[in-house]
Amino acid sequence: MTAAPLVPGHRAVANWLLACAGMVFVMAIIGAITRLTESGLSITEWKPITGTLPPLNEAQWLIEFEKYKQIPEYQVLNRGMSLDEFKQIFFWEWFHRLWGRLIGVVFAVPLIWFAVKGMVTRSMLPKLVGLFLLGGLQGFIGWFMVQSGLSVRTDVSHYRLAMHLSMALILYALLIQAGLGLRHPGAAHRSDRADLRRHGWAAMVLVSITVVWGAFVAGLDAGFAYNTWPLMNGEFAPPEVWNLSPAWLNFLENTAMVQFTHRWLAIATAAVVLSYAWRVGQRADLPEVAKRSALWLSLGIGGQVVLGITTLLHAVPVALGSAHQGGALVVIALLIRSIHTLRR
């Protein structure tokens, strides 16, 4: 199947979509910092419009601080926090939300312009509107996540955190795929490369599952335990990995098993990604761009594994933890691009 024929302005539309994907990438980094600095519950209300501005005077700051004092996180973990300390965590949550609003504006305004100028086809417009609506849904999911930590818990639900990150990955991947499709609109699928495409998409599924388990690790603070590699405090799998009943619940809620699963799922995923990249490099009929892309993918997944282990060994400092989340998005982008080059 061949993509839509090239129309004037398609390259500009493609660059805009890829720029929006870049903003989602930055959003994920900010989100990781927000999580690692325990800032996500500092804003206890969702005000999509009026919440754009932070408190502008001391009285407004005291009002926001009083709201924060009513939730369990403050009462159990942060009692006695000063106003200046509150301002620090407030900043990251406010900035995270502000960046999400900016993505919405950067997507919506050019979309209207491109549509008026006829730079997007009729078949493309519903897909772009759908992406915008998914972005709005992501904002709601973010608030849905925050709500889980405002009444009973001292943090957000790790299930909702995983949902929030998963939607970000979906938006990111769709933006990149749409942008690349517009940059090479005449590229077609080739039947003799179908096995490689299947291999590449299987690798993508594994990468996505690994990232979701990474969200479980973050949500359960599992990265602060078992900070050794490859053994977990001297054992391949400590006995407490089976503490919960029924057994399957350990994979979702047991700190030890969640970290164990993420560790070895990451290694298995890296093996599948590397085997895909190796197969691409061995195919003499593939263009040089496909082989270069596979090489970059190999370097990306290898670097991500090393970064993950380093992050664990150092008990997840903010800089390494946020870089590790960013590395996952880099791998996804490289994998999408590699699969796309098979169409050339």
- Was 324 annotated as part of a binding site? yes
C-alpha 319: how far from its chain's center? Answer: 16
The reply to whether omega before 246 is within 30° of 0 (cis) is yes
* Coil, helix or strand at residue 232: strand
Segments in the chain forming alpha helices (H): 10-36, 58-69, 72, 83-116, 125-147, 158-183, 194-219, 250-253, 255-282, 288-313, 318-341
From the list 228, 209, 337, the residue with the least C-alpha distance to 269 is 209
* Coil, helix or strand at residue 242: helix
Place of tokens 């989340």: 325
From the list 323, 339, 209, 186, the residue with the least C-alpha distance to 261 is 209
Beta-bridge partners for 235: 232
How big is the chain by its Cα radius of gyration, in Å?
A: 22
Residue 30 makes CB contacts below 8 A (sequence gap 6+) with 92, 95, 96, 99
- Was 262 annotated as part of a binding site? yes
Distance, in Å, from the CA atom of 252 to the CA atom of 212, rounded to the nearest integer, reads 11
Phi and psi torsions of 199, nearest 5°: -60, -45
Phi and psi torsions of 232, nearest 5°: -105, 95
Segments in 220-254 forming alpha helices (H): 250-253
Annotated binding residues: 262, 324
Annotated binding residues for heme: 262, 324
